[in-house]
Structure 1
Amino acid sequence: MTNSIKIHSFPLSGHAHRVELFASIAGIKHEVNNINLPEGEHKQAPFLALNPLGQVPTIEDGDIVISDSNAILVYLARKYAPDYLPQDPQLEAEVQKFLTLAAGELAYGPAAARLVTVFNVPIDHDFTKATAAKVLTKLENHMVGREFLVGNAPTIADISIYSYTAHAPEGGVSLEPYPNVRRLLSNIESLSGFKAMPTTKAGLLAE
């Protein structure tokens, strides 16, 4: 690969982090362009020309522009890192299941709880924590006897759930009751090229 993909990102976005994390772990040549969300850069014409929804992450790969974090993971795996998206139909379906979980229960649980405490978003914190407990219990049970979510090697499934799961404590959601989940996070953190997402403190401006 001769060209570098450009990742339009924001340091405190778990959605953006999962793309940066995958590019780093998979050894995909890339550069990061941080968009100033607190100043509204994502709603200005230059960025809206790339992504009319005004959301990060968005990537540029030559003339190709892709948005939505999970869609980006699939694109990057298909094009540059096929080992992270199994070709076996059953295993690929398992990966897709966890991408759906990341976009659904994980987003409405740990990710949403973090929006309350870190970004002061006025949503029901008790509901988000209850949802987080359900999805973390599901992951905990799934990880019995496993090192990664699908098969015997890391896939984009692991990448998709990492950022908001690892940062669940920032939303007031403890990971102590979930040793298998913590083991999964540790396994991901042990991968070559791992890149941490910055830890945040309550009171920062909302995304």
Structure 2
Amino acid sequence: MPAIQLYSTPFSGHCHRVTLLLNMLSLPFEVKEAQADVRKSAEFLRLNPLGQIPVLVDDEHVITDSNAILVYLVKRYAPDSHWLPEDPLQAADVQKWLSRAAGEVRFGPASARMVKQFSAPESMESARAVTAKFLPQLEQHLDAHEFLATARATIADLACYSYIATAPEGGISLATYPAIQRWLTRIESLPGFTPLPALPLPEDEK
């Protein structure tokens, strides 16, 4: 049995970014299904009092928050890799994009997908407004860069990928963003890539 356990659900982009890195680092792990009822259990709340996924258990270590898990995995298992550079400026750029993953990506395309697909009690109007401001900025950046922070993929790319790739599931078209589409393809060509299971597209995205 692998030492690493990942509490997750199949359609969560937050969980998917962790799964991507685990696969790309060739780390064996066990998936522990954590639907809503599990996340309310006393056992799960001992792992994460917030009741949120993903949660990574690595021997005696319990790490919560998807971006924190990405940092932990690289620092423990691939400290000299391209995934999280030591160069101060490059590390700062990675952190900047991790913040955008937790900010504009989460409250833009991720929020729109949650509303469309899961009837989440969030504002579609706000999600669309955040997305409309962010995607042109992302397009401009990726028109001049192959990856977000450095010349190679980093955890910043994985943190942002899942909810950008599934933006159409929230009714957000990527048709007018060719640089973003090329970036998505580059991520999908990385060794160990596995896609998020597809959800139905809204009628206006078919």
Alignment: residue pair count = 200
**CA apart distance, 1:202:** 7.6
Residue 46 of structure 2 is aligned to residue 56 of structure 1: no
Displaced runs of 4 or more, over 6 A: none
Q: Which amino acid aligns with 2:58?
A: D
TM-score normalised to structure 1 length: 0.92
Cα RMSD (Å): 1.6
> C-alpha offsets along residues 74-98 of structure 1, whole Å, 9 cap, x if unaligned?
1111111231000100000000000
Residue 43 of structure 2 is aligned to residue 46 of structure 1: yes
Match of 1:198 in 2: 197
Match of 1:33 in 2: 32
Q: Distance in 1 between matches of 2:111 and 2:59?
A: 33
Match of 2:136 in 1: 137
Q: Distance in 2 between matches of 1:202 and 1:127?
A: 20
* Unaligned 5+ runs, structure 1: none
| Pairs within 5 Å for 1:1-207 | 4-37=3-36, 40-82=37-79, 83=81, 84-201=83-200
Is the contact between residue 113 and residue 171 of structure 2 (CA under 8 Å) also seen in structure 1?
Answer: yes
Q: Which amino acid aligns with 2:193?
A: F
**CA apart distance, 1:3:** 5.4
Q: Distance in 2 between matches of 1:18 and 1:199?
A: 15
Is the contact between residue 140 and residue 181 of structure 1 (CA under 8 Å) also seen in structure 2?
Answer: yes
**Percent sequence identity over aligned pairs:** 47
Question: Which has the bigger relative contact order, CA under 8 A and spacing at least 6?
Answer: 1
**Other structure's SS at 2:149 match:** coil
Q: Distance in 1 between matches of 2:195 and 2:201?
A: 19
